[in-house]
Each structure stands twice: as C-alpha cells, then as structure tokens.
Amino acid sequence: MNDLFLTILILSIICSIIIVFVAVLDKLFHKSYSRQWKYIIWAIISLRLIIPIKIDIIDIPAPINLNQLITNAESEDHDISHSANTLAINDNMDFNSDSMPVDTSFIDRTEIETMRPAGNPGRQNTISNLKSVSHPVPVQSVMGTISIIWIIGAIAFLIYHVLAYTHYKRNLFRWSNIIENQDILEQFHQLQSELNIKRNIRILTSSQLSTPILIGFLKPCIILPIENFTKEQYQFILKHELIHYKHQDLLYKIILLIANALHWFNPLIHYMVYLANIDMELYCDETLIAREDRTYRENYSMTLLKIMTSSMKNHSVLLSTNFSSKKEHVKKRFHQIMNAKPTKKGICFVAVMICLIVLMGNVFSWFGQEKVSKAGITDKPGNVVSTNTNSDQRQVINSNIADNTVSQWEDTQHILVLGIDANDTETKARADSILIVSVNPETKKISLISLLRDMYLELPNGEKDKLSSIYQIGGAELMKKTIESNFDLTIHNTVTVNMKAFEKIIDSIGGVEVELSGKEAEYLNKTNYISNKKYRTVVAGKQMLNGNQALGYVRVRKVPTLQGEREDVGRTARLRSVLMTVIKECSNQDIMELTKLLKDVLPYVITDLSAEQFLSYLKVVLENEFQTDTFVIPVEGSYTQDVKDGMSVLEPDLKANIEVLKQAFNK
C-alpha cells in the first residue's frame, strides 16, 4: 500500500503542475479556442490520475541498487512487475518479532545511554560508561499510517458521494411521473434522430426538481421540472440534455469522481473537477448553438436564465448533469453564447498536453528513483537502500560493479557476522553465533573464523565481559570495536542476521547434507532444538536436512560432534560445516537466482554494507573460484578456563591468537 500511495502522490504532483499550466493557457487563449480542448484535457488528466502506472517513453537510466536486481530476478520467472522492497541498514535490530524490521528512512544514529538490569556492579559501571546506537526512527510505520489514512479518506469520499447520489435518485424517482404529452415526446424523438441517438432514454417530470437533469449511467433518464415551458424552450432543454448524453458526460463525471476520491488530499484536483464541470457545460452550450444565428442564441440564453432564476435549490449531484450554475459563471456562460464565433479545436494543445503528461511522468519517476537512491546507496551505516526497478540494468550491474570495486580491495576484507537467535527478545538478545568472514581477492580465499562466545575480553572502556554479552550492551558496533581492539584486526563491515534467515537459505537450496551420530540424532528428536515437531525424524548417518532441522543441528552443544568436539567448540564446528556446504551450493547458482533468495532473506538482515559493496562482494565471489577454510578463535591450547563474576569464561592468549589470524590472512 505504501508503494501505491507514493505512486498516487507523484501523479498528484505531476498533474497539479499540468492543471496550473492548462488554467494559465485557458486565460491566454480562451477566446481563440473551443472549449472542447479543455474538456478533453480534463478527461486525460483524470484518467492519468486513476491509473497509477509508470509510462516510460524516454529511457532515463535509474540508479543501480540491490533491490532493483532482486526484483529483476523475480520478474524473469513470473513475468510480472513488483515494487522493490526496501532494506534497512543499521547497527541495531528489533527482536519483538521473528523478523527484523525493515526501515525506509534515513536513520538517526543518536547516541543514548545503554541501560541494563542491575545485578553486577562491575558490569553496571561498564554499562554506564558505554553508549550505543539508537533504534531507527520508524518511518516505515509512519508511512504505513499515512497510507491507511489516504485509503480511508478515498473510500469515505466515494461512499459519501455514492450514498448522496443514491438518496437523491431515490427521492427523485419516488415523486416522478412519465411524460405523456405527445408534443414533448415527438420533439424528443425528433431530437434523438437528429443527434443519431438510438438508445431508449426515458423522459420524466418530478416535483422535486427546479432544473432539468440527465441522470442514470446504466439506465439514462431525463427528468424535467413541473414547469410550463414553450415548445421552443422544451427544444432547448431536451437538446441540451441529449448533447450531454451524446458527449458521455455521465461517464465523464464518474471518472472525475474517482480521480477526486483517489486524490482527495490535493486541493488542486478538487479545483480541476470544479473547472471540468464548468467546461462540460460550456462545451455543451457550444455544441448546441454551433452554426446558429444570434436570435437562436438569444432565445437559448433566455431559456437558461429562466431556469436558473426559477430554481428553488441549486442541486449539485456529481453523477448527474443539470442547468444550474453559480452566479459568477452565468455571465461567462452567456458571454460565450452571445459571442460565439468559429474557433480552433485546440488539437495542438491536446497533443502537447498528452506529451507533457507522459514526459513529466517519466521524468518525475526517474527523479523519485534518483532521490531515493541518493538516500539509500551510501557508505555510511544506518542509511537506506530503496528504489524501483528497471530490468534493463542487469547488464550495467553485471558489467560494471565488479570492475569498479574490486580494484578498491587492497587488503583482505573482514566482515563480522552476528547470528541472533530468532526466539530472543530485544531486552535479552545475545549474539548466538559470532563469525568473521574474511575475503581475500588476491589469494581467492574465504576464511570462516568462529569466535567462541565465552571469551572474556576487554571492552574499549577497560571493563571486561563475555563476548556473547557485549551485544546486549552496545550492539554490533561495540562488538566490532571490542574484537578489533583485542585481536589487532580491522573489521570493515558488520552483518547482523536473525537465525530465521538461516532456515530460509537452506530451504531455498534444497537442504544440506549432514552426517549425524546416533547420539546427535537421538538428541535432536527428543529435544526442541528442531522447533517443528513434524521434522524431528532425523536418523544416524548421512541425510539431507531442511532449514528447520539444520538450524536445530547447529545449535546443539550438549552432544559431541562425530569428531569429538564438545560444548561451544562443537557448536561452532557444526555451524562452520553447514556454512561451508551452503557456500558451495550457492556458488553453483548464478547471480539472478541468488538475488531471488536475497529478497526473502533481507528482512532478517541489518548491515552497514552499502548496496554497491554488497553486490561487489557477491559478484566477485561468484565469478571467481574461491577456496574456503575454517578455524576457531581461540585456537586449541591458547586459552584457559576460569570463572569471573560467577560466569564460566575462556581467557584467551591474545598474542598467540593474533599471530594465528595474521598467518591465516597472509599478513
């Protein structure tokens, strides 16, 4: 709904500019041109207002971003156009649901004091001295609220006018009678024949009317007031209403009503509808008096004057036509009738307006993409990636991104990946899995380094805590700074992933092959590590695990692996093994297949990677044969077990582990 409202808003802005332009042109040239050109232009603008589609005539290149690529991939399989989803890029995440929030705004990175429950004085001092990044401003929810208000307003607008019309029509027909005067009927049929109208149109009289009207889109009917008119006046009245029918003015009014309803928030659209109704009457007058002499025009004017002055009420119902008009327009109407002369049809104006509507739509659409792109594609963490799609950009992405970015990789790139348990809540969220993904384009090697959660590390302010608890204190940013300072390592980017994404990735590649021991299989089937009970059917030996089963498998720490690894070491070994399989399977897919997967995964991911950085990593890894290795930090024999503040911790030999990392990264 947000995308629809934004499209409506852009259309409203475009058409508002054109409405002002048309009004100015009319002021300058109304004496030289027929009312027909404005009548047609209002119809075209109204139709454009109610058809929220992009019309591309000029191929204006739009900014490249990740969401464009995702939607392009999706469009290939389904042959339908989808609005690109938005990706929020920030260092904090919301754990109140199973998925992370997606935000479409610039994100304020206001520093706030991080709060944490009391209980440990040492930790409390740490907390009081640390600051973390605030949560993103919920602009997406604000946009959703505005969209809901818009749709409620549109529906209310339509309901009001439809109910008013229904009530008016019911009362009108309740007090109406069929005209039996043969002279009037004969006149009416003669005029129908003259105007080549073959449809049967009823003609009635009603005591509830003071002005003639044409009403009823499906069953048109002309209703006359109970008034003594001369034969000539009946001629004018009936011909006037039949011309309205000939011009399809009831349909015209329906189009105006829908456009007005969809754009009820825009006063210029209301103004356009107001002008369109005036021009509809002027065009009807113009058609009726065409090629008639001055006497005929005078008599027609007197008929209009009689009807207007005798009107007890000035009925104005959107889905009907009538003679009534406001006083300020009577003079203008009479002036046009009495000073009628041959005028140009304004075909040139109509053609120019059509081109203007199309081209402005094209330019504004591009402008919107450009603005959003500038807001989204950025190297600064916390900003947004969001724009619409353009299927022609695939070649641009495929040919340019890697070439433009690989040269910037002078050193190995280190990405901190934090896996957050989907069942955690915001107040107790801990980093369930901690990985450093190292990508070296020179040696074509990807290293997956698991960091044990129980490591007892020094924070930037001098306090110490378990690595898994640091995320609670300061989120991904504090995790990054702590790891950098302890291991003499530069982390270039962070990625925080809700473990729900892990399930989706594995299901998308058809599962992963895992070899289970008998104890592992028994443990998984008896516990709730596999959250879906119907999948607790694993057996000993090699087998394919789906996403839910694999997620349960990598969480196990109480049972040793087949290689005998226990506790957190065994847990991280399982995770690395599964990730190796996932990377291998993903490397066999092309970039378009992967982007379809990314579309499902992105709502669970928060990162400070820009879209261009992300695409460059993806592109380079897929187009080159990278070798993958894994290891764990701290390495075996480089740590001691201890108890700190009542917690079982690992105190690593930082010097030894830094040396291991340097060797692994070929430094």
In terms of domains, do 197 and 168 share one?
A: yes
Q: What span, in angstroms and rounded, lies between the C-alpha atoms of 370 and 387?
A: 8
Model confidence pLDDT, tens digit, residues 333-361: 777 777 666 555 556 555 665 665 555 55
How many of the other CB atoms lie within 10 Å of CB of 631? Answer: 16
Total structural domains within the chain: 3
87 domain residue, yes or no: yes
**Which of 527, 560, 586 is the last residue in one of the domains?**
586
- pLDDT, average across residues 267-291: 90
In terms of domains, do 324 and 409 share one?
A: no
pLDDT at residue 273 tops 80 = yes
Model confidence pLDDT, tens digit, residues 296-337: 888 888 888 888 776 544 455 555 565 555 556 666 777 777
364 domain residue, yes or no: no
In terms of domains, do 399 and 492 share one?
A: yes
pLDDT at residue 149 tops 90 = yes
In terms of domains, do 203 and 327 share one?
A: yes
370 domain residue, yes or no: no
Phi, psi angles (nearest 5°) of residue 171: -65, -35
Q: What span, in angstroms and rounded, lies between the C-alpha atoms of 520 and 389?
A: 46
Encoded tokens for 645 = 């503040």
What pLDDT, on a 0 to 100 scale, did the predictor assign at position 218?
Answer: 86
346 domain residue, yes or no: yes
Range of the domain at 566: 510-586
Question: pLDDT grade, residue 371 (50/70/90)?
Answer: very low
Q: What span, in angstroms and rounded, lies between the C-alpha atoms of 315 and 549?
A: 70
pLDDT at residue 185 tops 50 = yes
What pLDDT, on a 0 to 100 scale, did the predictor assign at position 316?
Answer: 54
Long-range Cβ contact pairs of 325-334 (< 8 A, separation 24 or more): 325/278, 325/281, 329/278, 330/305, 332/282, 333/281, 333/282, 333/285, 333/304, 334/301, 334/304, 334/305
Q: How much of the chain, in percent, has pLDDT values that exceed 90?
A: 17
In terms of domains, do 62 and 46 share one?
A: no
Model confidence pLDDT, tens digit, residues 195-239: 999 888 999 998 888 788 899 888 899 998 888 888 898 999 999
628: β partners: 446
In terms of domains, do 327 and 452 share one?
A: no
Instruction: Return the minimum-mean-pLDDT range out of 32-41, 94-103, 634-643.
Output: 94-103
pLDDT at residue 482 tops 90 = yes
405 domain residue, yes or no: yes
pLDDT at residue 641 tops 50 = yes
What one-letter code names the amino acid at 520?
E
CA dihedral 232, 233, 235, 238 (to 10 degrees): -170
What pLDDT, on a 0 to 100 scale, did the predictor assign at position 159?
Answer: 94
- The CATH number for 533's domain is 3.40.630.190
Q: What is the mean pLDDT of the chain?
A: 74
What pLDDT, on a 0 to 100 scale, did the predictor assign at position 467?
Answer: 86
330 domain residue, yes or no: yes
Q: What span, in angstroms and rounded, lies between the C-alpha atoms of 587 and 581?
A: 10
In terms of domains, do 177 and 76 share one?
A: no
251 domain residue, yes or no: yes
Encoded tokens for 441 = 């384009």
In terms of domains, do 543 and 493 share one?
A: no
Give yes or no for a contact between 348 and 34, defined as CB atoms under 8 angstroms apart.
no
Question: pLDDT grade, residue 63 (50/70/90)?
Answer: very low
pLDDT at residue 272 tops 90 = yes
Instruction: Return the minimum-mean-pLDDT range out of 83-92, 246-255, 366-375, 503-512.
Output: 83-92
pLDDT at residue 48 tops 50 = yes
Instruction: Return the minimum-mean-pLDDT range out of 76-80, 255-259, 290-294.
Output: 76-80
CA dihedral 192, 194, 196, 198 (to 10 degrees): 30
- pLDDT, average across residues 444-455: 83
Question: pLDDT grade, residue 427 (50/70/90)?
Answer: very low
Phi, psi angles (nearest 5°) of residue 493: -150, 160
Question: pLDDT grade, residue 504 (50/70/90)?
Answer: confident
- The CATH number for 594's domain is 3.30.420.590
Greater confidence (372 vs 635) lies with 635
HEC profile for 256-312? HHHHHHHCCCCHHHHHHHHHHHHHHHHHHHHHHHCCCCHHHHHHHHHHHHHHHHHCC
Question: pLDDT grade, residue 622 (50/70/90)?
Answer: low
Phi, psi angles (nearest 5°) of residue 638: -115, 25
118 domain residue, yes or no: no
What pLDDT, on a 0 to 100 scale, did the predictor assign at position 406?
Answer: 43
**Which of 351, 378, 409 is the last residue in one of the domains?**
351
Question: pLDDT grade, residue 75 (50/70/90)?
Answer: low
Q: Using alpha carbons, select from 43, 630, 573, 25 the residue that is nearest to residue 344.
A: 25
In terms of domains, do 291 and 316 share one?
A: yes
**Which of 529, 564, 586 is the last residue in one of the domains?**
586
User: ∠313-319-320 over CA atoms, to 5°?
Assistant: 50
What one-letter code names the amino acid at 106?
F
Residue given tokens 């009245």 in the structure block: 237
pLDDT at residue 59 tops 60 = no
The runs of H, that is alpha helices, within 97-136 are 121-129
User: ∠492-498-499 over CA atoms, to 5°?
Assistant: 115
In terms of domains, do 223 and 343 share one?
A: yes
Long-range Cβ contact pairs of 581-589 (< 8 A, separation 24 or more): 581/512, 581/513, 581/514, 582/505, 582/506, 582/509, 582/512, 583/446, 583/628, 584/628, 585/509, 585/510, 585/512, 586/509, 587/621, 587/622, 587/626, 589/509
Whole-model pTM? 0.48
In terms of domains, do 407 and 478 share one?
A: yes
In terms of domains, do 610 and 517 share one?
A: no
Give yes or no for a contact between 620 and 442, defined as CB atoms under 8 angstroms apart.
no
Encoded tokens for 137 = 């401003």
